[in-house]
A and B are shown apart, each in its own frame.
Chain A
């Protein structure tokens, strides 16, 4: 519902700006790799690993002149990661698929000739952690033991693994669902004609808010850091 409201606002803003010559709106999509920046303390044979996701957005841009513009990309973006056990515990893991609705706002700085330009995006973003899904394998302490083995080389031989695939229930005491951060992106854009422009960009989102509220002493903070590679096209309104 919140996404629908956001899109409606953008359409209204777009309509208001159509009389101005420098207003563009478009569509972008890409794939990303998210890393959870944190620490597993003394948890044995446990590590966080980066995971892939995708993102889709509707960039809107207002050009002040041919080299400076301001851009906002309301978007849906996944920020996934994996918690994996290693060595004797290999095979025990949890994949986290996190969905965010995010609004990056950035200065869009271009350089180059009229048709082909390079650009730098620099700005900040605010996101809302809309939902999360967990999937993986855990040892089942109640599982039927394998009595045939006289030694175990893996935990899942000793405690059979059980698969799970479920929605993650947020804990309001812990989970911080608003994320703020900075971004930087570089790319190239090509003007097909006076209306259409295509672009390719790689962008980095640097989370600055802990994904947890401050609820305990010696809390280990967690931050998202996301690299995306995306392509898109823009449509220019007005003359």
Chain B
């Protein structure tokens, strides 16, 4: 090898080394992701960006949602940039844009609650409710009076109980418990899942509902002669998860899996943590083996649906679901920090109310925006109800031998 050749090789080598070293800086820039609450709300560019970013990072259903969130960004970012945050007409326009862009989100808990004075008279934006209300055959919820007077009088024995209470955080909770007339079948209805909490209250103001719940607990703990149980969650909008063990735990002597949940592991839309088993924790001395029927309807949401899953998954195989397809809001809610996912707020939104976790049933099926299908379908019958009859309850009673 002569000297010129050696020099040429050395130059090539140095160039190669420079090329390789220069590649060390070839990385994409890491964007700064700001907390939605931290954006100023003095202009609609920021209002939109804070909301879009919060959804981009905290919304749990991107895996199954068909809304293209990038397209939302491309379409609405320039539109919002032209709006004036101090103009009431523009604020109303913004309301309609938010309604449009969220209309197909699958999260059936999803609710946008506004903070703006100009929107105080506006209904919350609830995409799932809008979709349900457009469905043929959709009906409103049963009222308390139907259960307290009509159902109790016609279907329950004289020993049946009713109790209600307003909780410390201003939730109205009531429960009805008793035996079906001329049948040793236990019946329980309640409007919301706050039962364990109100059961733990002391003081006369909660006495009636505690007695009502005590009646249910005494019966399921000593079920000798009980032919079956009917748990009625029709028109029940959900509530606290602790009630699952409170209500269903006494029916089983071994904990069992009803499905699984998963949260987020990072800021990416598809950054999911592992599926973690969702269980009913047993509190019973023995398994309850007689039929357990859950009555649910289109207005049965969230914990009502999880309870339906729990009854259908009872280890003794004695659970059945009667009624209508449920709402389809099965994702549990918690604080955003617990799972780095779910609800958040911005200056413009008092709350972007959205599920913290994605849930599937024990067979791996996700019912979000779909709802659980009944084993035995009995449609809501407005005419029968107006006459004081309850065909769904009657069908449930007839299923118990």
Can you spell out 11 A-B residue pairs with CB atoms less than 8 angstroms apart? Answer: A46-B340, A107-B13, A122-B21, A141-B357, A142-B279, A174-B268, A208-B27, A212-B268, A220-B31, A220-B268, A221-B30
Partner of A138, one of B1, B24, B263, B266: B263
Binary per-residue interface labels of chain A (129-170) against chain B in the complex, 1 for a CB within 8 Å, 0 otherwise: 000001010111111110000000001000100101010000
> Quick check: B274 and A134 within 8 Å, CB to CB?
yes
Residues of chain B whose beta carbon lies under 8 Å from any beta carbon of chain A:
1, 9, 13, 16-17, 20-21, 23-24, 26-28, 30-36, 53, 56-57, 69-70, 73, 241-242, 244-245, 261, 263-271, 273-274, 276-281, 332, 334, 336-340, 356-357
The answer to whether A139 touches B244, judged by C-beta atoms less than 8 angstroms apart, is: no
* Contact among A138, A140, A141, A220 with B30 in the assembled complex (CB-CB below 8 Å): A220
Q: Which residues of A contact B27 (CB under 8 A)?
A: 37, 208, 221, 223
From B13, B241, B270, contact of A142 by CB (8 A): B241
Q: Are A83 and B266 in contact (CB under 8 A)?
A: yes
Our count of residue pairs bridging A and B at CB distance below 8 angstroms stands at 134
Are B340 and A43 within 8 A (Cβ)? Answer: yes
Q: How far is the CB of B306 from chain A (nearest CB, A)?
A: 9
Instruction: Taking A94-B274, A220-B267 as given, write out 9 further A-B residue pairs in contact, using a Cβ cutoff of 8 Å, ordered by the A residue number.
Output: A107-B17, A144-B245, A164-B274, A182-B20, A210-B28, A216-B69, A218-B33, A220-B31, A220-B268
Contact A68-B70, Cβ < 8 Å, known A107-B16, A124-B20, A218-B33: no
Kindly identify, within residues 4 to 55 of chain A, every residue whose CB is under 8 Å from any CB belonging to chain B: 37-46
The yes or no answer to A171 lying at the interface (CB within 8 A) is: yes
Q: Is the CB of A216 within 8 A of B70?
A: yes
A residues near B (Cβ < 8 Å) are 37-46, 65, 68, 83, 89, 94, 107, 109, 122-124, 134, 136, 138-145, 155, 159, 162, 164, 166, 171, 173-174, 182, 184, 206, 208, 210, 212, 215-221, 223
A89 with B267: CB separation less than 8 A = no
* Chain A residue nearest to B255 in the complex (CB): A144
The answer to whether B338 and A155 touch across the interface, beta carbons within 8 angstroms, is yes
Which A residues are in CB contact (< 8 Å) with B17?
107, 122
Q: Is the CB of A42 within 8 A of B245?
A: no
Distance between Cα atoms of A182 and B102 in the complex (Å) = 44
Q: Which residues of B contact A65 (CB under 8 A)?
A: 1
CB contact under 8 A between A174 and B337, given known A39-B33, A42-B34, A220-B33: no
* Residues of A contacting B281 in the complex (Cβ-Cβ under 8 angstroms): 142-144
Q: How far is the CB of A185 from chain B (nearest CB, A)?
A: 12
Distance between B22 CB and nearest chain A CB, rounded to angstroms: 9
- B265 contacts A123, CB within 8 Å? no
CA distance A183 to B164 in the complex (A): 70
In the complex, chain B residues whose CB is within 8 Å of the CB of A39:
30-33, 267
Are A42 and B70 closer than 8 Å at their CB atoms? no
Contact B263 A41 (CB under 8 A): no
Bound Cα distance from A174 to B265, whole angstroms:
14
- Ordered nearest first, which 7 A-B pairs have the shortest CB separation? A41-B33, A42-B35, A41-B267, A44-B337, A142-B278, A174-B270, A144-B281
CB <8 Å contact, B270 and A141 = no
Q: Once the chains bind, are B276 and A40 in contact (CB under 8 Å)? A: no
Contact status A142-B33, CB under 8 Å: no
Which of A42, A123, A134, A162 has the most chain B CB within a 10 Å cutoff?
Answer: A42
Which residues from chain A contact B334 at a C-beta distance below 8 Å?
Answer: 141
Chain A residues within 8 Å of B332, by CB: 141
In the complex, chain B residues whose CB is within 8 Å of the CB of A143: 279, 281
